[in-house]
Amino acid sequence: MKYINEINKRKTFAIISHPDAGKTTLTEKFLLFGGAIQTAGAVKSNKIKKHATSDFMEIERQRGISVATSVMSFEYNGHLINLLDTPGHKDFAEDTYRTLTAVDSVILVIDSVNGVEAQTRRLMEVIAMRKTPVIVFINKMDRDGKNRFELLEEIEKELKINLHPSTWPINSGKEFKGVYDLHEKSLVLFTAGTKANDEDVVEITDLTNELLDKKIGDKDAFTLREDVELIDGVYGDLNVDDYLKGETAPVFFGSAVNNFGVKEMLDTFVRIAPTPRPRHTTLRDVKPEEEKFSGFIFKIHANLDPKHRDRIAFLRVCSGRFERNTYYNHVRLHRDFRFSNPYSFLARQKEVIEDAYPGDVVGLYDAGNFKIGDTLTQGEDFYFTGIPTFSPEIFREVVNKDPMKTKQLEKGLMQLTDEGVAQLFTQFGGTKKIIGCVGDLQFEVIQYRLLQEYSASVQMNSLPFYKACWITSKDDKKLQDFIRFKQGNIAEDKDGHLVYLAQSEWFLNTEMQNNPDIEFHFTSEVHK
Ligand code: G4P
């Protein structure tokens, strides 16, 4: 238990939301509280603006921002907090899913006006799968939002999670007066247009206290008393264990842009959010307090300078102590590697570090040796499990326009797909290269980067597929028969796993019905 103090100090999490709900604004407020930045407006949004889908300068700019903000570490009240950034654009959702494998908890931001939106639903499925603890922040209370009870009901129903209000709002929009902190038993008053840290907090342990009427008026005091009575009756006290099991999510109301209700949430977060947790591997569960180091790569980022082919691999430390210039076992390659310039992201400054502990994310310069899901250990051979690859939904055939550049193209495709930009399939029994993505924008990025970084000019032809799913069967003969009959729809992924490409939902359902011995998988774990 040598490193237990270091482990107990750390909280590693991500903020997730549908674009525009306020993730960037909330991140900025956290960094202000942590002293990691001094002024508002310092955190650049990593959103790719809607109109910019063909503006490649914009994509490059965003890539720059997204390296810089991949991890933001700061200290708050004696805790070391690692905040992992997730891309806002839906076409890069896979990147977000993978980042979620590297965190121990999440904060979900919901826009009080729009309620639960499409992207949130999908993200929550991944979170539920992993039973990740969630805290919900209902943002933009300064705007006329939905009825708060109805909103809670909607969130519970849509996201299939039990909620537990930790603060309760007094009105919304122009009438928004603040929140009552149900845990601290205090009234936090809101004044529109105030600057950061300007919350006016009044302790009111007993809601019958007349001070409440004085502060917010008789009518709102009456409503608040009624609401709180109802909430106490329905929800009772927060059971922190239920939160840690991913079964109950505490809810906070506020306004990120006004820095209102944020501190209450941050204080609760550091009080209850999990410290680095044990993780499953192909061999056994690995506890963070184990002496020997282990970790895995969850994200790879190419260098922005095309003259330098090196990339940055993001390593999440899972156990023991990671040390600079020390040899570690790269499990997939059966080779030892050491890193002379590993860096961390404390206060958003990239700096070379001597060591790192469970929960930390380390940036490693990589000359092409890493793939997403790779594991580093201090000797043992195992892989961390639960890093999913999702079935893509849009497909293009890659056609080489310049035969002289075949080698570069192959290399480019391998490297870009190692980075997780898209998935690469090869036609079964043939050579046709097929790229599968979840969003159109990714094809444009690939085409552009192949040309810029590998001088490979390609054409992308649409393919009439609707979904790719991995196929397996306990009955090898049935699998072989299926492959033979469906040859035009079969491909292999980069690891040689068989994939069925369905033209439509109807085809997919029909094949699933007609072939009960074949299993169709919609996610493939990098390591099982
Ligand atoms: P995202 O990262 O989740 O995509 O959202 P982001 O923080 O960029 O916020 C989206 C927009 O919502 C921004 O306005 C931001 O100022 C605004 N916003 C954030 N929190 C609140 C809030 O509590 N109340 C209100 N009324 N608005 C909020 P924008 O016009 O797109 O950008 P900007 O010009 O203000 O930067």
Per-chain mean pLDDT for the chain:
87
Q: Is the CB of 142 under 6 A from ligand 1?
A: yes
If you measure from the C-alpha of residue 143 to the centroid of ligand 1, how many angstroms do you get, rounded to a whole number? 12
Sequence-separated (6 or more) residues with CB below 8 Å from residue 300? 311, 312, 313, 314, 366, 370, 371, 372, 418, 419, 420
CATH number for the domain formed by residue range(s) 388-525: 3.30.70.3280
Predicted pLDDT at 96 = 81
Tell me the CATH architecture of domain 279-377: 3-Layer(aba) Sandwich (3.40)
Secondary structure class of 399 (helix, strand, coil): strand
Q: Is the CB of 24 under 6 A from ligand 1?
A: yes
Predicted pLDDT at 191 = 78
- CA 404 to chain CA centroid, Å, is 39
Cβ neighbours of 51 (radius 10 Å): 8
pLDDT at 347 over 80: no
Are 359 and 10 in contact, with CB atoms under 8 Å apart?
yes
If you measure from the C-alpha of residue 139 to the centroid of ligand 1, how many angstroms do you get, rounded to a whole number? 10
Q: Is the CB of 172 under 6 A from ligand 1?
A: no
Q: Which residue has the tokens 């820095």?
A: 259
What is the C-alpha radius of gyration for the chain, rounded to an integer number of angstroms?
Answer: 25
Q: Is the CB of 17 under 6 A from ligand 1?
A: yes
Any idea where the domains of the chain sit in the sequence? Answer: 4-70+104-272, 279-377, 388-525
Predicted pLDDT at 57 = 57
If you measure from the C-alpha of residue 515 to the centroid of ligand 1, how many angstroms do you get, rounded to a whole number? 49
Q: Which residue has the tokens 């990589």?
A: 366
pLDDT at 199 over 50: yes
Q: Is the CB of 254 under 6 A from ligand 1?
A: no
List, as one string, the DSSP characters of 460-519: EEE----EEEEEEES-HHHHHHHHHHTGGGEEEETTS-EEEEESSHHHHHHHHHH-TTEE
The minimum-distance atom of ligand 1 relative to the CA of 143 is 26
Q: Is the CB of 47 under 6 A from ligand 1?
A: yes
Predicted pLDDT at 53 = 41
Q: Is the CB of 117 under 6 A from ligand 1?
A: no
pLDDT-based confidence at 204, cuts 50/70/90? confident
Predicted pLDDT at 50 = 45
pLDDT at 193 over 90: no
Predicted pLDDT at 59 = 61
Q: What is the DSSP letter of 281?
A: B
Q: Is the CB of 46 under 6 A from ligand 1?
A: no
Q: Is the CB of 45 under 6 A from ligand 1?
A: yes
Tell me the CATH architecture of domain 4-70+104-272: 3-Layer(aba) Sandwich (3.40)
pLDDT-based confidence at 98, cuts 50/70/90? confident
- Comparing 4-70+104-272 with 279-377, is the CATH topology the same? yes
If you measure from the C-alpha of residue 25 to the centroid of ligand 1, how many angstroms do you get, rounded to a whole number? 6
pLDDT-based confidence at 439, cuts 50/70/90? confident
What is the percent of the chain where pLDDT is above 70? 88
If you measure from the C-alpha of residue 523 to the centroid of ligand 1, how many angstroms do you get, rounded to a whole number? 33
Q: Can you give the length of the chain in residues?
A: 528
